[in-house]
Amino acid sequence: MTLALRGEKLTRTFASAAGEVHACVDIDIEVAAGELVVVRGASGAGKTTLLNLLGGLDRPTSGKVWIGDVEATALDEDALAELRRERLGFVFQSFGLIPILSAAENVELPLRIVKTPPAEREERVAEALRLVGLADHAAQRPTELSGGQQQRVGIARAIAARPHVLIADEPTGQLDSRTAATVMDLISELVHSQGLAAIVSTHDPLLVQRADRVIELHDGRVTSVAGATASVAESAAVAETDAAAEPATVSEEPPHAPLTRAEAREQRRSAD
């Protein structure tokens, strides 16, 4: 297994008028090439903060991030920006397309920024639009496309630079359930056919089934990791969280799945 993205003991704390807000707390996470990881949790659980830390859009209060074999958290801003351009692709909930540009021109934009030669730009744009099923819509502007088509243009833009890692924050948040499922199927297909490592945040339970692995966040902490590719580090981190939440007890009842912190609190309230 080739790790494309790794976070170690990631913590992000924000100051507020009401005191410190712990958006992420001691999160260990790994994403391998060819793997689709979904981060799930309610609004405010810390999903966007975690993806921003992993994508180098924000810096952790403590902890480290590796993109491939490069420690991103050790880089200065210029080197980090270059690393993002070369190895990361981002997909946003709001699509982020420029209205006056055609689909092809939107996809081409990041390639222009890194001064990719014109002939290669043209080839990559055509390939990216073909992969997302929009080869016949290259000349259309965003207002002439449906919401699902606009998000597919966003995905094409993210993969045109041939990144190692795809980071998508609520990419289906503005889509109806049928279109959302189609977009997630597309991301899953690209991950497995192109060997991308992808991490996608969502609160939609219908989209979770497309994932190779699902990480549940609650109050900035990982409360569960499900899937055949769950890493040893992540499983150990969840076990430590559960152990800290509940004192050890001796029971003669049959073994069961460990409680999350939220379930433990609910059980205590019911007992009272």
Q: Rounded to whole angstroms, how far apart are CA atoms 157 and 6?
A: 24
Regarding pTM above 0.85, the answer is no
Distances 144 to 2, 106, 244 between C-alpha atoms, Å: 40, 14, 53
Listed by start position, the domains of the chain span 3-244
Residue 14 has phi, psi (to 5 degrees) of: -110, 145
Residue 43 has pLDDT above 80, yes or no: yes
Q: For residue 133, give the nearest of 110, 151, 112, 114 by alpha carbon.
A: 151
Mean pLDDT computed over every residue of the chain: 84
What mean pLDDT do residues 174-198 have?
89
Q: What percent of the chain has pLDDT over 70?
A: 83
> What local confidence, expressed as pLDDT, does residue 266 receive?
53
Classify residue 265 by its DSSP letter: H
Q: What CATH fold (topology level) applies to the domain 3-244?
A: Rossmann fold (3.40.50)
The per-residue DSSP string of 39-57 comes to EE--TTSSHHHHHHHHTTS
Residue 32 has pLDDT above 50, yes or no: yes
What mean pLDDT do residues 38-53 have?
92
> What local confidence, expressed as pLDDT, does residue 248 receive?
39
